[in-house]
Each structure stands twice: as structure tokens, then as C-alpha cells.
A and B are shown apart, each in its own frame.
Chain A
């Protein structure tokens, strides 16, 4: 097995590659966009169902 700098000798990922500049900047953009989401959108108790309830919709 090829040992990688981010995996231990057993091949288990020890931690994400936090030194990757692309990943870090992408993550920071995600954190920033999360910060502007209104609280009411993040506090509902209900979890979504995908559109599996088809009543009332066409079925062609």
C-alpha cells in the first residue's frame, strides 16, 4: 500500500487536508454564506421529504 502524508500506516485518514488552499478558501466561502442565512430557516423541526408525495401532480 502506498502510504500517503495524510493517512496513517493503516491507511486511515487522520485529518482532512487543511493546508489545501483551494479547500480552505472554498470552506471559508461556505462559512460566510452560512452566516447570512436567516435563523428561521435553520430552526425548523421538520425534515424534508423529497418530492415523493405525488398527489395532485400530473403523472404522464
Chain B
């Protein structure tokens, strides 16, 4: 069969579109075909807007033909996590309680994508209210990992990551409070970027924990993530926590050269209790960075381990505050694990919450000191193999661990202190993808994107091996139908 259009990165598609060699109609048709074919098995979408998307594609085609090309996202099919408000369109938050909620306005990130000409194919599945990391959802059905349908796609932005991995869309918006962009990105073998806190407006994003929440892109390549970041970032007076900064120009700044960069590796926290094979694959990726000209610098960060407690206390306390009214009126309409989490947030005292903030200050200071010596810190994204759907415990090096706590452990510190963090595929283990986490300085998105783009050129993941819903493909070898990967140039 011919190579899917989605195998091309966004900027190449954009060039074809802007020069009239490709119509957005063709792209949306390809997205529609993939959604119709794969989504019954993957369940990446809560709601689809296929007819509306085709109308938008025809409108974009006419607009471009008349000489008005808006930029790299014009005519590109994307998806929106269903906790981001879409004006006039149902936004469920993956919940029964808000299943009929229709916002009067769109989230700033959603509006900016629309203004850039992107075409929404629909709203993606998530763990209820983004309060979980497995995307198991009793109200709208579990999201399945495209590489192995018996496993979690990760969460909470599992639908966004699964839709990108399956070639249903070129990119998707996710949200990340304790890893919810990077966990599913790693589990599904795609790229996930949690920007610096305040880099992207949270206006119109249903909150989980307001000092930890971030909005960011999930894509099939680092270059595509840079394109989406450029479109959604920048000051927004509707979000008091949004930084007074112009939009990023990360795509223009993207190179694959990391010569002279200093990359930090911290062992005591980021490599403790990590599956031995995942640690081995991660170290192979780090060696690849070194061979491309980066200097590897060991780091000691003893406060990091205590950040897990601080993050959890802050997360559950703020979450329970957000949900206090709903819990008091609709407690029985939450799924059991989400309700349990919200009720857990009633247990910490005010002293616990404030002491967690004090620990947060120390972790922040430790990161600041580390970034005096290094340009970025690399680590595994996840310490364990992608769990089976429904599993509450997993195994790391023969030891039983809590799945939820393990999935969040290594990605949480970047949320606690608001640092940008990227997950990039860096290898395969038992036919499942493994992610490398790259943490940057505040506002250091370009640096971590460059490191990610460099890693893509190392070809640690065979681009010929692609995810495909095995229940659809039947052969389980992942060789047909779904898109390949292209690295940034």
C-alpha cells in the first residue's frame, strides 16, 4: 500500500497543503478512515466530529486556494482531550456527572488551534476528570493501548496518545498534573510535552490541581510537538497563572545538534526501583546522546524522593477542593477509584498541605542548583512495563508495586516545580514502546525539544514497526495500516 499521509511530519504536510499539492480534505479523509477502522478497538474518542471536520476541511481548502494559508497547522487534523472546553460541543471530562455539559466558550488552547486552522476530529477519552493514570473509564469505556489492546494506554490523556499512535490524528491536546501527558505518550510510543507551568494557558481546562496543571501537545514527532506548542503558548489574561510571554518559536529553533550540551543523570531517585530492562534501554539512549556530542554529568538530588509525598498531598488536597461541591451532591456518580482519590484529599491537614509546599520549595531549589551545572536532566519516563488494563499492582524487578504510584513516580517532580518535561520514544521492550523523559530549565522547551529531536535521529525505535490495534489487524505484527514515524530535520 502507499505510505499514509500521516507518516509525514506536520511541516511537510503544511508545505504540500500551502502549495496546492495536498488538500486538507484528503488528510481529514485519512484521519476519518483510521478512526472508523481503529477506534472501535482502541476507544480513543469520547465524541467524534467527523462530518464537521470534513466541512472544515473543505472550508480550509477553499481558503488556501484563495491565497490565505494561515500557517503550519492549517488543515491539519487534531484531537482535543475531553476536559478542555469546546464552545457549543459537549465536554464530559470523562464523567457521568458532567456528561451533558456544553461550554459557552472554548479553552484558550483550543481556540488558538482553531485560529491556526487546525481541524478537530473530536474529543478524546480520559480517566474521569483526569484523576487517574490508566484511562480506565467506566462511563465511556476503557481506552486500549494501540500496541497491545489488553494494556493501558496510560493516562489520564490516554485517548489523545492512543489517537496519535494509531494514526487517527496528527496531534492532540493533553493535560498533565502528575504525568498525564508523558505517561500515555511513553506507553503509546509517541511524543508528549508538558511545557513550563504558565507557558500555555489553562483557561477553559477543567482543573485537577491548579498549581500542578499544565496543557500541552501529544504528537508523533518532536517537530510536530514544537509546531503545536508554538500555536498554543503565549500570554492569556483569562488565566492568572499564565506567564506574560509571547508565543514560543520552538519549531524555528529546532535542530538535531546537541553538541556541547550538558545532560544530567541522577541515579538515586530516577533509576531506583526501575525495571532493569527499562533502565538498560534508557542508558542506551543516554549513550546515544553522548555519542552525538552531549556531555553526561552525574547529579545528586537527595530532596527529590521527598517530593513524591509533597506532590501527592498538594494534588489530592487541591483536587478535593475542586470537587467538594460535586462530591457532596453526586458522590455515587463518580467511579470508585476517582471517588476514593477525592475522599483521600480530605485527610491531609492544613499543616500537611503547607509543609508539602515547604518541601516543594526545597525541591525547586535543588533543581535550580542542578541547572547551574546542566542544560537538561534525562531519566526513564516510566519505571515499569506498561500494565495490563485492570491491574492494580505490577512487578518491578521481582517486587510488587502499586501501579498508579509507580506510573506517577518519575514524572511527578516536573509538575511539582513547574519544569518543562518531554517524553520521547527511546526503544522497545517486548513489542511495547519505552519513553525517555527529558526535563528542562524553566522556559527551556527548546533545549529539551532539541535533545528529543536528536534522539529521534539515533533510530533507537524502528520506524517500520508501527502500532496497530491487533484485534483489528488480526496478525498482531503491526505492519499495515497505521502510520510510520519520521524524525525531525
Partners in one complex: yes
Contact with A47, one of B250, B341, B357, B441 (Cβ below 8 angstroms): B357
Once bound together, how far apart are the Cα atoms of A45 and B355, in whole Å?
10
CB-defined contacts of A6 to chain B, threshold 8 Å: 331
Of the listed residues B309, B337, B339, the one surrounded by the most CB atoms of chain A closer than 10 A to its CB is B309
Interface string of B171-183 (1 = CB under 8 A from A): 0000000000000
Interface string of B187-207 (1 = CB under 8 A from A): 000000000111000000000
Tell me whether A1 and B357 are in contact in the complex, defined as CB-CB below 8 angstroms, given that A13-B324, A41-B306, A51-B442 are known contacts. Answer: no
B370 to chain A, nearest CB (A): 13
- Residues A1-37 near B (CB distance < 8 A): 1-2, 4, 6-7, 11-13, 15-17, 20, 22-23, 26-27, 29-30, 33-34, 36-37
CB-defined contacts of A13 to chain B, threshold 8 Å: 324, 327-328, 331, 346
Asked if residues A37 and B253 are in contact (CB atoms below 8 Å), the reply is no
Asked if residues B332 and A60 are in contact (CB atoms below 8 Å), the reply is no
* Interface status of B411 (Cβ within 8 A of chain A): no
Tell me whether A47 and B358 are in contact in the complex, defined as CB-CB below 8 angstroms, given that A2-B332, A4-B332, A20-B343 are known contacts. Answer: yes
Asked if residues A58 and B443 are in contact (CB atoms below 8 Å), the reply is yes
B side interface size, CB within 8 A: 55
Asked if residues B343 and A16 are in contact (CB atoms below 8 Å), the reply is yes
Asked if residues A54 and B308 are in contact (CB atoms below 8 Å), the reply is no
* Interface status of B272 (Cβ within 8 A of chain A): no
Asked if residues A59 and B245 are in contact (CB atoms below 8 Å), the reply is yes
Asked if residues B243 and A52 are in contact (CB atoms below 8 Å), the reply is yes
CB-defined contacts of B300 to chain A, threshold 8 Å: none
- Residues B271-327 near A (CB distance < 8 A): 303, 306, 308-309, 312-313, 324, 327
Q: Report the nearest B residue to A40, measured CB to CB.
A: B362
Q: Report the nearest A residue to B392, measured CB to CB.
A: A22
* Interface status of B373 (Cβ within 8 A of chain A): no
Asked if residues B324 and A60 are in contact (CB atoms below 8 Å), the reply is no
Number of A-B contacts (CB under 8 A): 119
A18 to chain B, nearest CB (A): 8
B434 to chain A, nearest CB (A): 27
Asked if residues B443 and A7 are in contact (CB atoms below 8 Å), the reply is no
Interface string of B340-359 (1 = CB under 8 A from A): 11011011100010110111
CB-defined contacts of A38 to chain B, threshold 8 Å: 306
CB-defined contacts of B65 to chain A, threshold 8 Å: none
Asked if residues B359 and A60 are in contact (CB atoms below 8 Å), the reply is no
Asked if residues A30 and B309 are in contact (CB atoms below 8 Å), the reply is yes
Asked if residues B364 and A51 are in contact (CB atoms below 8 Å), the reply is yes
Other than the given A29-B402, A57-B444, A60-B250, 20 more pairs (CB < 8 A) read A7-B331, A11-B329, A13-B346, A16-B344, A22-B337, A23-B347, A26-B340, A30-B312, A34-B309, A41-B359, A48-B361, A50-B197, A51-B364, A51-B417, A51-B419, A54-B245, A59-B443, A60-B253, A60-B443, A60-B446
A interface vs B, CB < 8 Å? 1-2, 4, 6-7, 11-13, 15-17, 20, 22-23, 26-27, 29-30, 33-34, 36-38, 41-44, 46-48, 50-52, 54, 57-60
Residue contacts A-B, CB under 8 angstroms, 26 given: A2-B332, A7-B328, A13-B328, A16-B346, A20-B340, A23-B340, A29-B405, A30-B347, A34-B352, A37-B309, A37-B359, A38-B306, A41-B303, A47-B354, A48-B357, A48-B360, A50-B197, A51-B442, A52-B243, A57-B441, A57-B442, A58-B444, A60-B249, A60-B250, A60-B443, A60-B445
